[in-house]
Structure 1
Amino acid sequence: MSDSNANPTTTTRTALHELADQGVSVWLDDLNRPMIADGDLAAYIDRGVLGITTNPTIFATALSEGEAYTDQIESLGMDTVSTDEAVFALTTTDVRDACDVFAPVFQRTGGLDGRVSIEVDPRLSADTAATVETAKRLWAEIDRPNLFIKIPATVEGLPAITQTLAEGISVNVTLIFSLDRYRGVMNAYLTGLEQARERGRDLSSIRSVASFFVSRVDSEVDKRLDQIGTDEALALRGKAGVANARLAYQAFEEVFSTPRWQNLADDGAHVQRPLWASTGVKNPDYPDTLYVTELVAPDTVNTMPDKTLEATIDHAEITGDTVTGAYDDAQKVLDDLAAVGVSYSDVVDLLEEEGVDKFEKSWQELLDTVAAEMSKHPGRA
């Protein structure tokens, strides 16, 4: 099953390299133009970062601070483009440049890593056809083989994932909370590969990750456990997120050992790696590397905010695989949660609904920020 994510060559080994030894690729959840221009992104790579993801809030913050985007905004203002088109131009420029910075990692790892993700406008999450068309437009505009297009794992997103993959476009499936939905995501991936093969596409050029969110599960479950308030309930705090992710990995192992998968692998296909997302610890009572050290397993990605990345480098103890032998204990956590009155299905359904809403609000924040910046540089009369 495993693809090798060959360890980066650098003078100073860190916990990131120890994670790579275990088959975990560490990606950074942050990107802005100054990072690229000032060499900070290249410095992260030297420390062992193997890829990067982006989101609209990160872009909005970068746009509102400093002058890195001024020249392009002035140019866009002179062309009197819409705010949506300006967002498209600004974000695709950064992502294209980041792809170029990560190109050596992409080459060294045979296409496994060195990946940069950009998301489809989340306002389209309920529109399959529009999601696919936007994914194709982003792919063509950025025009780099180490790009990932982020598509949320909504009900409408699943066929969009399949259709995008069938076009030969690599996909980062995001916003996964439930085990059932994750199985649907893996099925969408396999179906997309099958359709790509029918169209004569090279399966070895198509990659995908499935972003399974972790800390948000604990935040919601812990809130409910605190409301219940019994000793049995309080003893379960901080356990749901890791347990859910470990059971997702069990599902990953099952799906990518089936004859259906082997048939695709024989034609050059690669596994869709689980990606642990939302790995910043939100409860200060928990270890700040909880969602790193407890989710070490081969063929995975851990995408970290800078604070978690620095904590991992500073003091994370990587002790080997902490997932594959823990499935029974993980299932017991979910069973115990049900026993004290926490509904798993209610939690994950709510988190998906809230996740889509947060994505849309984040996108609107980016639009508002760009509009405000462009208003400072009005176009031609």
Structure 2
Amino acid sequence: MNSTDRLAQLSAAGVSIWLDDLSRERLESGNLAELIRDRHVVGVTTNPTIFANALSKGESYDPQLRELVARGADTDAAVREFTTTDVRNAADLFRDVYTATNGVDGRVSIEVDPRLARDTDKTVAEAKDLWKTVDRPNLLVKIPATEEGLPAITRTLAEGISVNVTLIFSVERYRAVIDAFFAGLEQAKANGHDLRGIHSVASFFVSRVDAEVDKRLAAIGTDEATALRGEAAIANARLAYSAFEELFSSERWQALVKEGANPQRPLWASTGVKDPSYSDTRYVDQLVVSGVVNTMPEKTIDAVADHAEITGDTVTGTGEQAKAVFDKLSAAGVDITDVFLTLENEGVEKFEKSWTELLDTVTGQLEKAKGGAAE
């Protein structure tokens, strides 16, 4: 089987393949267009770490940098211009996919400033500003699923803005996200918005769960604990899908469907393998089910194309088995509640750190460009 067949099979199984990366170089070199054409890529996700990496490399941003210096832009304004320009151009590149899928795919995500993750009002204001600035119907604004983010999700959807809910780790929090989604659509309808134009995904982080749980299992060190290595992340995602099936068959959801609502699709994020002893496609081929998104680094897309075993649905009907994994983890001494709290806090901190690095990089570039302009 050649690589195109494996990615085609994944797509045919109902999994939307999104790229977890974006840069000016990808856009200008034609790389992203090639991935759309040849690799079945139908969307893009970004985060502060991705932009920090993109802006620290190469010279692709230099022309816009010189223009910003000439206008006297400060660091925050420059970061906003760089990131929204890339996202807008990517959204234009995906416009045909967006049209062909009636708005389901062809989506490009941009994240609110992660420093606002614990501030509901500022998150909503930032989401509205990003939506207005990018000004593309196939945008998804990313809002973290912190406790403060939940009401921000509802209020943003109520404005008719499509949302990618990010940094979801626990099924309990995922249920709260779905509730926030339902409430947002109900308010959007009351506000006069056409629900058919509002889309959302819920980004459930996968590999980080194994990384944290495996570390704790190693510290426990018993035979029972060791036997559970690598079991948590896939079981967690499968439990999330069970919750999705349950809540999206409820009377509350059916009432929204009658108003034209689109379901909030589960999205598997953090699908690059952290432990090199694991198969590098495990967070793809073991989480195949129709109607989900899998957003992957290009390295993972290449691995899937090369050697993934796509055998059809590997999720439906696995809820009880997945629950048994967590019963065993608890019995072995893993504090599951603390795992998810730790992962959420670390996730916010990592994105804050990346954002600070992004600001520092752009500040340095602006100063350098000003120096060059003064010579």
TM-score (norm 1): 0.95
- Contact 1:213–1:278 (CA under 8 A) maintained in structure 2: yes
Aligned to 2:108, what secondary structure does the other structure show? strand
Residue 232 of structure 2 corresponds to 240
CA distance in 2, matches of 1:210, 1:20: 19
2:178 to 170, 181, 186: 186
The structural deviation recorded for 1:61 is 2.2
C-alpha separation between the residues in 2 aligned to 1:120 and 1:207?
17
Q: Deviations over 1:207-248 (max 9, x none)?
A: 000000010000010001111111111000000000000000
What SS does structure 1 have at the residue aligned with 2:212? helix
The answer for the alignment partner of 1:34 in structure 2 is: 25
Q: Which residue of 1 aligns with 2:209?
A: 217
Aligned partner of 1:207 among 199, 207, 230: 199
- Write the letter of the residue equivalent to 2:138: N
1:298-313, aligned counterparts within 5 Å?
A: 298-313=290-305
1:346 pairs with 2:324: no
CA distance in 1, matches of 2:157, 2:173: 18
Query: Who is 1:5 aligned against?
Result: none
Task: Give yes or no for the alignment of 1:177 onto 2:180.
Answer: no
Residue 123 of structure 2: aligned partner: 131
C-alpha distance in structure 2 between counterparts of 1:147 and 1:181, whole Å: 24
Q: Secondary structure at the match of 1:377?
A: helix
Distance in 1 separating the partners of 2:56 and 2:155: 36
State how 1:135-284 maps to structure 2 within 5 Å: 135-284=127-276
- Taking the aligned partners of 1:14 and 1:366, their CA distance within structure 2 comes to 38
Could you tell me how far apart the structure 2 residues matched to 1:271 and 1:345 are? 28
Unaligned runs of 5+ in 1: 1-10
* Structure 2 Cα separation of the partners of residues 345 and 62 of structure 1: 35
Query: Within 2, Cα distance between the matches of 1:32 and 1:45?
Result: 15
**Over residues 262-312 of structure 1, what are the superposed CA-to-partner deviations in whole Å (9 max), with x where a residue is unaligned?**
000111101000000000011111110000011011110000011111000
CA distance in structure 1 between the aligned counterparts of 2:306 and 2:4, rounded to whole angstroms:
12
> What count of residue pairs does the alignment treat as equivalent?
371
Partner Cα separation in structure 1 for residue 317 and residue 83 of structure 2: 41
Q: Which amino acid aligns with 2:287?
A: L
Inter-partner Cα distance in structure 2 for 1:37 and 1:261? 42
Q: What secondary structure is seen at the aligned counterpart in 2 of 1:345?
A: helix
Counterpart-to-counterpart distance in 2, 1:346 and 1:90: 37
Q: Match for 2:15 among 5, 20, 24?
A: 24
Shift of 1:67: 1.4
1:64 CA displacement: 2.2
Q: Distance in 1 between the 2:17 and 2:5 partners?
A: 11
Instruction: Tell me if structure 2 keeps the 8 A contact 1:225–1:236.
Output: yes
Normalising by structure 2, we get a TM-score of 0.97
Selected match of 2:288 from 281, 284, 296? 296
Q: Which amino acid aligns with 2:207?
A: S
1:53 paired with 2:45, answer yes
Q: Distance in 2 between matches of 1:114 and 1:276?
A: 17
Displacement of 1:58: 2.1
Query: Residues 123 and 360 of structure 1 are in contact (CA less than 8 Å); yes or no, is this contact kept in structure 2?
Result: yes
User: Which 5+ residue runs of structure 2 have no aligned equivalent?
Assistant: none
Separation (CA, whole Å) in 2 of partners of 1:298 and 1:250? 13
Instruction: Name the amino acid aligned to 2:135.
Output: D
Which piece of structure 1 moves more, 248-257 or 49-58? 49-58
Provide the rounded CA distance (Å) in 1 between the counterparts of 2:92 and 2:312: 32
> 2:131–2:141: 8 Å Cα contact kept in structure 1?
yes
Q: Which amino acid aligns with 2:22?
A: L
1:318 offset after TM fit, Å? 0.5
Residue 276 of structure 1 aligns to a residue whose secondary structure is strand
Alignment-derived partner of residue 321 in structure 2: 329
Partner of 1:8: none
Pairwise CA distance, 1:12: 8.0
Separation of aligned partners in 2, 1:363 and 1:98: 21
Identical columns (%): 62
SS of 1:374's equivalent?
A: helix
How many Å separate the matches in 1 of 2:271 and 2:263?
22
d(CA) in 1 for partners of 2:130, 2:283: 31
Task: State the 1:56 CA deviation.
Answer: 2.0
Q: Distance in 1 between matches of 2:25 and 2:212?
A: 35
Counterpart CA distance in 1 for 2:122 and 2:280 is 39
Pairing partner for 1:318 from 290, 297, 310: 310
Mapped partners of 1:86, 1:62: distance in 2: 14
Alpha carbons 1:204, 1:268 under 8 Å: kept: yes
Q: Distance in 2 between matches of 1:152 and 1:111?
A: 22
SS class of match (2:25)? helix
Q: Does 1:68 align with 2:56?
A: no
